[in-house]
Every structure is written in C-alpha cells, then in structure tokens.
Amino acid sequence: MGETNLIQEYKNLCDTIRYHMDCYYNQDAPQISDYEYDQLMLQLKAVEKEHPELISEDSPTRIIGGSVKRTAGVTVEHDVPMLSIQDVFTKEEVLEWVHDVRAMHPDVRFCVEHKIDGLSMSIRYENGKLSLAETRGDGLIGEDVTSNALVIPDVVRSISSDFNSLEVRGEVYMSHEDFDKTNRIQEAHGKKTFANPRNCAAGTLRQLDSGMVRERGLSMFIFNIQRSDPQIASHSEGLEKLKAMKMAVVPSTVCTTDDEILARIDAIGESRGTLPYDIDGAVIKIDQIAYRDDFPAGSKYSSGHIAYKYPPEEKEAVIKDIELSVGMTGRVNPTAVFSEVRLCGTTVSRATLHNQDFIDNLGIGIGRTVLVYKSGEIIPKIRSVVADKNPADSVTFKIPDICPVCGGKVVREPDTADMVCINDDCPAKLERRIINFVGRDAMDIKGFGEEYIRTLIDNGYLHDIADIYLLKDHRTELIEKGLIGKQKGTDNVLNAIEGSKSNEPARLLTGLSIPNVGKTSSKTIMKAFDSIDDLMHARIDQLVEVQDVGETTALCIHDFFHKESNIKLLERLKEYGLTFAAEKTETTSELAGQTYVITGSLEKFANRDAMVAFIENHGGSVSGSVSKKTYALINNDITSNSGKNKKAKELGIPIITEEELLSRVSE
C-alpha cells in the first residue's frame, strides 16, 4: 500500500472508531456490538504499532471515554483521572502480563473480578459524608450526578470515621429485572424501549430528574478505591473495609498462581447466564497497591490491571415450533420459536430462519437444540445445531408446498432460495401490499393503520389496493359499523385517501410493491420517465440504462407491468384520479454534484420531503448519513452536539443553516 493510501486508510479507521465512540459514550445508542468495536480498535493498534509516525494526539487509542453532556449536570474535574482498562482477548495475553508483573515482584497477588457492563461513577466522601458523585466523562472532566446517586440504594451516604476522606469508583448498572420492568413501562406508554441494560442505565443516570432514576431502579458495584486518607496497602483489604461500611463491592477473588487466575476467569465466564446483571469480561488486578505504578499501560489506561474480554455470548435453546408467515410478494418466511434464553441483557425466544437453504445447511428442526447469539448484540440469530443433542425422531424442517394462509400452491422461485405463494388472491399478500401502499414511504395515507386494513379485508371491503379509493362510497356504513373509527376518525381517513391522489408518481410506484423497487429507486426511475404510462411500455434495455437499475430489477418492473391483473389494477387507479404523470418542475444546476445531509428541526421548509425536493430540483442529492462524500450538513442548530454535527466536524464538513442553503440558489 502506498504512503498516501496508508495515511487515508488510517484516517478513515480513526474516523470510524470516533463515530462509534460517540454513539456509545455520548448518545447511549451503539451502532455496532462491543466485539465489532473491539476488533476495530485492535486493527488500529496494529497499524499504529507498525507505523508509529501516524499516531496523532486525537487518536482513538489515546481518547478516554466520551465527552461531557453539559445539559445533564454541572461539570466537575476529577481529583483522580477516571481512565480506562487495557483490554486483552486471549488467555495467553493475560499470562504474558501476569508473568511480567511476577518477574518484578515475585510475591505479587492478583484479584480477579467481574467486569460489570454499565456506566462508571466515582463518589467522594469528606468528613464521613457523601460530598460528590461524578460520571467519567472524558476521563478528566465528568458530570455532577450527586442528586441521582443519592437515590441509588447501593450508594452509601455516610462512612465510618476510619477514613478522613475517601474516593471510590464503581459501575452503575441495571439488573435484568429492573431493565425488563422499565421496558414494560416504556411499552405501555407507547415509548421506545431500550436495546439493553447498559444503554438504559447510562441514559437514566444522566437524567435531570432524580425521580426518574428512583423509578427505573439503578444499582452499583464499587470496584476500586481511588484515594483514601489513610491509604490502603492492598486492593483486597480495601474491598473488605468497604464491605464493612455496607458498600456493595464487585465480586473479587484473590489468586496467586496462573492456574488459579485462569480457573477464576473461566468460572466468571461460565456464570454469565446465571447472573442478575450483565458482564463483558473479567478484570485482573495487582492486589498490592504499591506495585501498580510499575506497570503503566499508556495515557488512556490506568496502571496495574487488565481486562480479559469474553467472546460474544451464545446460549443453547430448544426449538419448540417453526412459524410461517407470508409477505407482500408471497414469500413464505420461516421463524424459529425456541425456549427462552437471555442474551445481552434481554430475553429472546424467536429468530428468523431466512429460507429453506438456511434451514437445510444448519439442519434445523423442531425439537433440536441450537446455539443462539445476537448479531450486533441486538438481532437474535441461530449459529448452529448442537447435533449430539438431536432427538432420535427429529427431522430437518421442510417448508410445505401449501400456503399457510390461503392454502394455495407454494413453489421455489427459480435461481433463488425463496419459497413463494403463487395465489394472487392470498389474503396475506394483500394485507402486506396494502400496508406498503398506504405507508409513509409510499402514498403516506395518515391514520390508515394495520388494524383498519385487516378489518376492512376481513369485512370484504378491500380486495386490492384500488379498492381503497372506493371506500368513500361506503362512508355511512363504515361509520355505522365503526370499522375505521367514529365519524370524525372515518372522515379523517377518507380525506387522507382522497388527498393521496395528488401524490407524485414516484410514491405510487413505491406503493405497487414491485420487487427491488423501493422509495429511493422509485424516485430515480421516475426521473427517467415522464409518467407511469411511459414506464409501463419501457423495454428491458431501456430500464437497465436507468441509474442503479440492474437486470434483475428491470425484469421485475417489466414483468409487473405486463401482467394482465396488474394492467387492470393500474387502469382502475388512473380512472380513480391518481397522478400518473409528474408536473414538469424547472430544474437548475446550482447544487450539481453536491450531496447534503439534513438533521434537526426545519424553519423554512414545510417538512423534510420538501427540502429534499428543493435540493434535487437544483441538481443536488441528499444522503441519510455524514461521510467524506458529504458536501455540507444542514442543521439550523450549528452548535448542537448531535452525532451528525460531531461527525461533520471530525471530517471537516461545513454545517450550514436553511438560510445558507437558500442563499446558494438563485430564485
């Protein structure tokens, strides 16, 4: 690799890691799993080891934690920096470190402890009373969260007179029980649920309302004495003194030999599934405090300990059933239902099986034991079958050739692994197609929810998407039966249906449920054709000339518009007044070649779609995420600490307001 490419790849890797650090530490919304993040950091460390000349002061290997959220509380400077722990991923690395310590201090003892997956917090005690609680922040400056800490049951408010002053550090976490309770409450109130206990704990501790902290329930383990007067000689002695003062301290075992250390690491790892809280590793600490400074780990990490990180969690589960559903294209979707297991802080009991090939390759069948994991620590997936636990009478599951919804014929599509119901009148296909048609990305018929759609299908009012535009003829009986609400609710839906007739043709195209044709591709396609009518008569060779339309998509479009039932459907939609030809909009090229990203609230445009249309009509394009290719980020709050703003600043991309965007275009 050339020098220029190496420098650019290094910068790209740093940018990627900084972005994910921001998501994890500052937004409590990680985009990748801990394991994937660790792999990126290992890759960066390897590059920096081979090319130390590339290392900059703002390298992620030198950054501690996240930034400070000033809106969450008063900022405070740490008396003792709250640094990270150096991670290792193999037991060989653990023993290498242990042997280095033992070579210098033959009498060394080690404490092996749970690495709690939560949010770090330090507590200061002066004159026997709790005086301050602070989050880690960037390692040097954190947030004052004293009022929130005081409502955490594990936090002790006063200590014995043995200490003139004391500062301890621990991990605030949420138990599985409290996490499940919080998510049930969130769901009951129609609010977004949390992905895992760590995110929930971090977001809760930063709340300005301590009542919210009390309601959700947080816990804390103390894992270190940061400073004390008088000083403590050993870590294990310190933990015992803290226990005597009724503090909840992290489970810790004193070990001397290699075998004892490795056995304890294994025991902690094996306990992961039975603990009432999440851990992501085992911490190995030098017990004698005086020895620790002899083993610094760099400016980012505190000295005298390392953390062994366990591989991604997997658990065995028994498949109880395999459910089949049918999508809008007729694709039969198999889903495994298995005995409940807890992974990454949540209980899971279902995972998609994709298709028959996936089932056959793994040998999945009802009654068989499988290994379940979470992709990205979010989506449950099946990794493999535990073959030696297969019941003698179990068989690999086969998707039947009869549709589970309508009883129609199911066939395997040529050149794919998909099993598809070929009955055009299948109710499941109709339901999904109508849901897609009225959805936000397509015709955007507000208030027309899934329950109403199912009810109208069951009562014989909807047989295809065109029937939506005949519902106005049944207004009186719809109100009398209450199928889509009372009079006001019914009229709101009917008015929204009527208003959708004026939608641009790209929305109609999205709503037709043509395979491989979504919101973005529909816009691109309708820029190449004057109307839906023109598109209907397009040849395959004309279609493949359209940007981002490959041969497969072109065939899907061509086949759809040449199917007799679809031709009749489109004739009805045209008859009912839907827009087939877009109004000619004058376009200019002031923004040609410029890609924008939009975030935050709008002031000059009615909505996000209106701004997107404005940019595109002036030759520009819009993307959903900030990257090196972004020309500018549009945000009226330029000083915001949002993830997109931070990403733009890191990449040196301008952040502009709506006013500035408008000023670039001549009216």
Q: What are the structural domains of the chain?
A: 3-63 (1.10.287.610), 71-309 (3.30.470.30), 314-412 (2.40.50.140), 427-575 (1.10.150.20), 595-663 (3.40.50.10190)
Confirm or deny that 421 is annotated as ligand binding: yes
Confirm or deny that 113 is annotated as ligand binding: yes
The pLDDT tens digits of the residues spanning 294-351 come to 987 666 678 899 999 988 778 899 999 999 999 888 899 999 999 998 887 678 899 9
Higher pLDDT, 209 or 428: 428
Confirm or deny that 258 is annotated as ligand binding: no
Q: Any idea what the Cα angle at residue 248 is, between residues 127 and 216, rounded to 5°? A: 100
E strands present in 497-554: none
Q: Any idea what the Cα angle at residue 477 is, between residues 471 and 480, rounded to 5°? A: 130
Rounded CA gap, 58 and 15, in Å? 10
pLDDT of 584 over the 80 cut:
no
The pLDDT tens digits of the residues spanning 478-531 come to 999 999 989 999 999 999 999 999 999 999 999 999 988 988 889 889 988 989
Confirm or deny that 285 is annotated as ligand binding: yes
SS3 137: coil
In single-letter form, the type of residue at position 281 comes to G
Q: Which two tokens stand for residue 376?
A: 């990205």
Which of 39-48, 408-417, 531-540, 617-626 tops mean pLDDT? 531-540
Residue pair 279/251 in contact by the 8 Å Cβ criterion: no
pLDDT of 4 over the 70 cut:
no
Annotated active-site residue 628? The verdict is no
Q: At what angle do helices 450-458 and 427-438 cross, to 10 degrees?
A: 140
Neighbours of 649 (CB within 10 A): 15
Rounded CA gap, 28 and 200, in Å? 8
Count of CA atoms in the C-beta half-sphere (13 A) of 30: 23
Q: Give the list of residues 6+ apart from residue 216 with CB closer than 8 angstroms, or none.
A: 174, 178, 182, 200, 204
Q: Which two tokens stand for residue 458?
A: 């069951």
Which of these, 373, 375, 392, 376, lies nearest to 384 by C-alpha position?
Answer: 373
pLDDT of 575 over the 90 cut:
yes
User: First and final CA of the chain: distance in angstroms?
Assistant: 48
Confirm or deny that 406 is annotated as ligand binding: yes
Count of CA atoms in the C-beta half-sphere (13 A) of 206: 25
Total-model pTM? 0.54
SS3 content of the chain, % helix, strand, coil (to 5): 40, 20, 40
- The predicted structure's pLDDT at residue 70: 39
Q: Is the C-alpha dihedral spanning 116, 237, 240, 129 positive or negative?
A: negative
Which residue in 11, 45, 69, 115 is the catalytic one? 115
As a whole-number percent, the residues of the chain with pLDDT over 90 amount to 53
Count of CA atoms in the C-beta half-sphere (13 A) of 90: 4
pLDDT of 26 over the 70 cut:
no
Task: Summarize the confidence of residues 15-24 as an average pLDDT.
Answer: 76
Confirm or deny that 308 is annotated as ligand binding: no
Q: At what angle do helices 258-270 and 91-104 cross, to 10 degrees?
A: 140
- The predicted structure's pLDDT at residue 64: 56
Buried b (16+ CB within 10 A) or exposed e, 210-231: beebeebbbbbbbbbbbebeee
Q: Which two tokens stand for residue 355?
A: 């298709």
